[in-house]
Chain A
Amino acid sequence: MVNIEIKKRLKTFDMDVSLPIGRELTILTGPNGSGKTMLLRMVAGFERPDEGTISAGECVFFDSSTFLPPEKRRVGYVSQAASLFPWLTVEKNILFGLSNGRTKDTERWLGRLYMELNLGCLLKRRPALLSGGEAQRVMLARALAPKPLLLLLDEPFSAIDTSLKPRLRRFLKDIQKDWDIPVLMVTHDPAEAYTLGDVIFELVEGHIAEQREKGKVIKMPFISY
Chain B
Amino acid sequence: MDWQPFIISVKLASITALCLLFLATPVAYMLAFSRFRGRAAAEALFALPIVLPPTVLGFLVLVMVGNLSPFGRWYQGVSGKTLAFSFEGILLASVLYSFPFAVQPIQNAFENVNQNLLDAARTLGCTRWQTFWRVILPASQRGFTTGGMLSFAHTVGEFGVVLMVGGSIPGKTKVASIALYESVETLHYGEAAWMAFILLSFSFSILSLVYYLNRKAMAIGW
Binding site for B on A (CB under 8 A): 44-46, 69-71, 73-77, 79, 81-87, 96-97, 99, 126, 128, 139, 142-143, 146
B114/A83 in contact, CB under 8 A: yes
**Chain B residues with CB below 8 A from A45, complex form:** 122-123
**Chain B residues with CB below 8 A from A79, complex form:** 116, 119-120
**Chain A residues with CB below 8 A from B204, complex form:** none
**Chain A residues with CB below 8 A from B221, complex form:** 86, 128
Contact with A along B124-158 (1 / 0, CB 8 A): 11110010001100110100000000000000000
A45 to B119, CA, bound (A): 9
The 8 Å CB contact of A146, one of B114, B124, B135, is B124
Number of residue pairs A-B, CB distance < 8 angstroms: 67
Contact with A along B198-222 (1 / 0, CB 8 A): 0000000000000000000000111
A97/B125 in contact, CB under 8 A: yes
A70 to B139, CA, bound (A): 21
A21 to B145, CA, bound (A): 48
Q: What would be 17 A-B contacts, judged by CB atoms less than 8 Å apart? A: A45-B123, A46-B122, A70-B119, A71-B122, A71-B127, A75-B123, A77-B123, A79-B120, A83-B114, A83-B119, A84-B120, A87-B222, A96-B121, A97-B123, A97-B125, A142-B124, A146-B124
**Chain B residues with CB below 8 A from A126, complex form:** 220
Q: Distance (Å) between the CB of B50 and the closest chain A CB?
A: 31
Most buried by B among A79, A82, A83, A128: A83
Chain B contact residues, majority secondary structure:
helix
A42 to B116, CA, bound (A): 15
A77/B119 in contact, CB under 8 A: yes
B117/A46 in contact, CB under 8 A: no
Chain A contact residues, majority secondary structure:
loop
A87 and B139 in contact, given A82-B116, A128-B220, A128-B221 (Cβ under 8 angstroms): yes
A73 and B123 in contact, given A81-B116, A87-B139, A87-B222 (Cβ under 8 angstroms): yes
**Chain A residues with CB below 8 A from B124, complex form:** 71, 96-97, 142-143, 146
**Chain B residues with CB below 8 A from A99, complex form:** 125
**Chain B residues with CB below 8 A from A70, complex form:** 119, 122-123
A76 to B114, CA, bound (A): 19
B135/A85 in contact, CB under 8 A: yes
A69/B117 in contact, CB under 8 A: no
A83/B117 in contact, CB under 8 A: yes
Question: Which A residue sits closest to B134, measured CB to CB?
Answer: A96
A70 to B125, CA, bound (A): 7
B126/A71 in contact, CB under 8 A: yes
A83 to B130, CA, bound (A): 17
A46 to B122, CA, bound (A): 9
A143 to B116, CA, bound (A): 13
**Chain B residues with CB below 8 A from A44, complex form:** 119, 123
**Chain A residues with CB below 8 A from B125, complex form:** 71, 74, 97, 99, 146
**Chain B residues with CB below 8 A from A82, complex form:** 116
B120/A77 in contact, CB under 8 A: yes
Question: Which B residue sits closest to A76, measured CB to CB?
Answer: B123
B122/A83 in contact, CB under 8 A: no
Besides A46-B119, A83-B114, A87-B138, 19 other A-B contacts (C-beta < 8 A): A44-B119, A69-B122, A70-B122, A71-B127, A77-B119, A79-B116, A79-B120, A81-B116, A83-B120, A85-B120, A86-B220, A87-B139, A96-B121, A96-B134, A99-B125, A128-B222, A139-B120, A142-B124, A143-B124
The 8 Å CB contact of B116, one of A83, A87, A96, is A83
A86 to B138, CA, bound (A): 10
A142 to B126, CA, bound (A): 14
